[in-house]
Amino acid sequence: MFFDTHAHLNAEQYNDDLREVIDRALEEGVSRIVVVGFDRLTIEKAMELTEQYDFIYASVGWHPVDAIDMTDEDLRWIEELASHPKVVALGEMGLDYYWDKSPKEIQKEVFRKQIQLAKKVKLPIIIHNRDATADIVAILKEEGAAEVGGIMHCFSGSPETAKECVDMNFYISLGGPVTFKNAKKPKEVAEAIPLDRLLIETDCPYLAPHPYRGKRNEPSYVKLVAEQIAEIKGVSVEEVAEMTTANAKKLFGII
């Protein structure tokens, strides 16, 4: 069985056929999915999905691109949701220096507040990083994020950075890009990081794996990510599925 640790089934791209998308995931052996909410609308929708499907869990947080919109009330709301039995993590949170909607200083402040909240409610965190590796690693260290640990989501950095994150109690999650022919770094990371620190994800509807690159992604495709990791590591896809599922269950506290 596969565990998709990062899916946005709460995105409008699934408005017309969510049921079919979920059925295809179940047919392919995807038996656990964490739906990630990152603003008011997507958090509400993620929570609804956890009520509708017993194998769907939620992670709730505030995306760095929209950091400028987060109010104290939003943070209190996230804190309330954190005690919901199906909320298994906080995030995605982090830094995104590609888009400039939210100034860096505000992104950092919102990131720090969410790490502090995660420590208070004792939940792991899911990290979004775009062009901001050095600042993310520094903040995780300064805020003592190792206490809760979490996930470097859709990791695209070097094996060295991946190891540094593992040393800070984080798992490395690989998605569609590891299957791209020209993706050197994710393949190196898949090789360098032991299976007991790896997770798999789709980040759907984005980043569909090969041969669906550029199309809408969905949880059933997480199998392609697992197959690529299995090939790189020279192990069976069953072993990758089993280990990454066990890792995710342990991190999220799911039995």
Task: Enumerate the known binding-site residues for a divalent metal cation.
Answer: 6, 8, 92, 128, 153, 203
Q: How many residues bind Ni ion (CB under 5 A)?
A: 1
SS3 at position 40: helix
Q: Is beta strand 125-130 parallel, antiparallel or unpaired with respect to 87-96? A: parallel
Helix H segments across 58-208? Answer: 72-81, 104-121, 133-142, 159-167, 184-192
CB of 36 to Ni ion, least distance (A): 5
Minimum CB distance to Ni ion smaller for 143 or for 203 = 203
Binding mask 148-187 for Ni ion (x = CB under 5 A): ----------------------------------------
Minimum CB distance to Ni ion smaller for 4 or for 203 = 203
Minimum CB distance to Ni ion smaller for 60 or for 232 = 60
CB of 108 to Ni ion, least distance (A): 19
27 in Cβ contact with 224 (< 8 Å): no
Minimum CB distance to Ni ion smaller for 90 or for 232 = 90
Instruction: Pick the piece of the chain touching Ni ion (CB under 5 A) from 24-32, 106-114, 201-209, 244-252.
Output: 201-209
Instruction: State the residue number with the nearest CB to Ni ion.
Output: 203
Minimum CB distance to Ni ion smaller for 92 or for 143 = 92
Among 41, 81, 85, 76, which residue's Cα sits nearest to residue 60?
81
218 in Cβ contact with 21 (< 8 Å): yes
Minimum CB distance to Ni ion smaller for 151 or for 243 = 151
By the 10 Å C-beta count (0-12 exposed, 13-18 middle, 19+ buried), 66 is classed as middle
Cα–Cα dist 4/7, whole Å: 7
251 in Cβ contact with 151 (< 8 Å): yes
Among 58, 9, 13, which residue's Cα sits nearest to residue 220?
9
CB of 90 to Ni ion, least distance (A): 13
Instruction: Pick the piece of the chain touching Ni ion (CB under 5 A) from 23-31, 72-80, 198-206, 227-235.
Output: 198-206
CB of 11 to Ni ion, least distance (A): 9
Helix (H) or strand (E) holding 151: strand 150-152
CB of 81 to Ni ion, least distance (A): 17
Residue 206 CA, distance from chain mean position: 12
CB atoms within 10 A of CB 90: 26
Binding mask 203-222 for Ni ion (x = CB under 5 A): x-------------------
Instruction: Pick the piece of the chain touching Ni ion (CB under 5 A) from 115-123, 134-142, 175-183, 197-205.
Output: 197-205
CB of 236 to Ni ion, least distance (A): 28
Q: Which residues bind Ni ion (CB under 5 A)?
A: 203
